[in-house]
Amino acid sequence: RIRILPGIPQILDDQPHLIQAREIDPEDLLTRKAVKISLKESLSYVRGKRVLVTGAGGSIGSELCRQLLSGGAERLYLFGHGENSIYEITRELRLLQEEGVGEKVDVVPVIGELQDRDFMFYILNRLKAQVVFHAAAHKHVPMLEANSVEAVKNNVFGTRNVVEASIQAGVSRFVFISTDKAVNPSSVYGASKLLAEEIVLKAGKNGAQYLVVRFGNVLGSRGSIVPLFRRQILKGGPVTLTHPEASRFFMTIPEAVSLVLKAGGVGDGGELYLLDMGKPIKIKELAEQMIRFYGY
């Protein structure tokens, strides 16, 4: 079992204890320094507003909610169709608030289904959200190859429902979380996200601030290769690669989310933003690095 000891700056500044030793963090696998953004400046556009996050129980959605605690929003709606994941993130945010993290904000869980068009129109009208972050999506590439109808129903028609319901309810700013797999898509997932992007960008052409932010692979997110490699290594191998030369751009979840929040504040309607993710990392090198981390 490998534990990471505190870094030199931490040792010099923070009077460290061995209890600060920790598990491998996705950030340890980056070959560059993580991007740091001042949330206070980035989040001024949500201050005093009612903000809705779809897919709030997922890895990206939940981190959006954590960072939005510092934005001074009046109300934060956590929308998702899985009651357990929405319960967990609601509980976590309220605990963080009790411990003095962020600013005072009403945290409101909302269980619902994007594919239910009537419900989406009803709930957006009722909540009167002014800012929407749309992170909800089916994301597992091989799973969606085998279930293409559900991919389109959820990622395309679900997005259309939430966009059109947002327009009708007067949502002034809408940020869609997309993927670099939408570029010349070679998968059902990528194609479904490209179609969803078009729906959002078309809505943004009418003067409303509806925009798209794309990024690549996120270290540590559900379905990413890091948890998969970890399971394979702890089981004793083998660690499986699609191709020895395959490489991908990587970010950590907090990095990706802070950049999404930044883009959401500076972007105009009908625009698409692509995050700078540094240089691509070879999957083989990432796997070897993780194997060494675990002492093999």
Helix axes 83-98, 59-68, angle to 10 degrees: 30
Please work out, in degrees rounded to the nearest 5, the angle formed at the alpha carbon of residue 78 by the alpha carbons of 67 and 173.
Answer: 70
Catalytic residue among 49, 104, 139, 181: 181
Rounded-to-integer distance, Cα 122 and Cα 124, Å: 6
Instruction: Kindly report the backbone phi and psi dihedral angles of residue 210, in degrees, each rounded to the nearest multiple of 5, phi listed first.
Output: -110, 115
Beta-sheet strands, E only, within 11-62? 50-54
Q: Is 181 labeled as catalytic in the residue annotation?
A: yes
Rounded-to-integer distance, Cα 113 and Cα 209, Å: 24
Catalytic residues: 181
